[in-house]
Amino acid sequence: MDSFVIQGIQTLSPAELNAWSDKRLELVEEALSNWVSPDAPAGLGQAMRYAVLDGGKRLRPLLVLAAREAVANGVQDKTLDAAALRAACAVELIHAYSLVHDDMPCMDNDVLRRGKPTVHVHFGEAQALLAGDALQALAFELLTPENQPTTSANTLSHIPDEVQARLCRLLAKAAGFNGMAGGQAIDLASVGLALNEQQLREMHRLKTGALLSASVMMGAACGNISAQTWGCLERYGQAMGLAFQVVDDVLDVTADSVTLGKTAGKDAANDKPTYVSLLGLARAQEYAEQLLHEALKALEDSGLKSAHSLAALAQRVVNRKT
């Protein structure tokens, strides 16, 4: 696939990125549909599938797969590719579970997600709570398949124990009190408060950035790279994660609910601190561009020759309209 150079690194054009992502998303959607079973008891499977399938940007799975390809550098390994696909689906399940719980009346009390009624509106609060719990558990089940002795017939199921453990640790830390859950706790406690920029950055580093950064690092964990390259990918993931939230804050005041697929203007309505309320719209947009520059510089410093898709995904995040 052809590429072009921006800020000293190779990236993909929007059309090339669409072609790249369409192919990978087909794999992810098929895997999610197969692994999120409709047969869970008492209608739970239907609520789980409603929460996960047929919607969302799937940015986190794409980051996993793009990072895996970057560290593989064109060398195929079916075992590690299979681990990366499981990681891509696992991180999307964690993301989906967090949205189900965040939308509930005890949290953000939202009624629209991904262009359709939220899970608790459609299935009731109790079923939504259980669906989120089950999706979280399933994420870690996917990362720890029962390994069989490797043969030509079952090579894809034999994921090394050390890879499984590393993926589980990365995802658990990003989802827990040191990541997404901790950030949500800060968010709920900050309603009506005037946070400074450092406090706001820390909240979003945990609430949104941790899982996006972990997506990158889970893909990187499905390969062998130096500590220096690992550190560069961490810098990329952290800049990407924060950029996503800054753009989210911008879109909350510049786009409508139909475009976003979720309720627009809810942050201001709920008196929540955002980058727009703190910096103003123009400065928030400038900050997103600065973070894009930081992400691309980290890729340049990594020395990776196959990071085209990671670079293009960073541009997509900052330039997105939904």
- Say how many C-beta atoms besides its own lie within 10 A of residue 176's C-beta: 13
d(CA 134, CA 312): 33
Residue 146 to residues 32, 81, 149, 157: CA-CA distances in angstroms?
18, 17, 10, 8
- Say how many C-beta atoms besides its own lie within 10 A of residue 167's C-beta: 28
Query: What residue ranges do the domains of the chain occupy?
Result: 4-144+159-319
- Which residues 6+ apart lie within 8 Å of 251 measured at CB? 260, 264, 320, 321, 322
The first and second tokens of residue 278, run together, are: 């703190």
pLDDT computed for residue 198 by the predictor: 94
Question: Class of the 4-144+159-319 domain?
Answer: mainly alpha
Over the stretch 184-218, which tens digit does the pLDDT of each residue have?
999 999 888 888 999 999 999 999 999 999 999 99
**Ordered per-residue pLDDT tens for the chain, 322 residues:** 344 555 567 789 999 999 999 999 999 999 999 999 999 999 999 999 999 997 789 999 999 999 999 999 888 899 999 999 999 999 999 999 999 999 999 998 999 998 899 999 999 999 999 999 999 999 999 999 986 554 444 444 578 999 999 999 999 999 999 999 999 999 999 888 888 999 999 999 999 999 999 999 999 999 999 999 999 999 999 999 999 999 999 998 887 766 666 565 566 556 778 999 999 999 999 999 999 999 999 999 999 999 999 999 999 999 998 8
List, as one string, the DSSP characters of 56-81.
S--HHHHHHHHHHHHHHTT---HHHH
List, as one string, the DSSP characters of 157-222.
G---HHHHHHHHHHHHHHHSTTTHHHHHHHHHHTTT----HHHHHHHHIIIIIHHHHHHHHHHHHS
* pTM listed for this prediction: 0.91
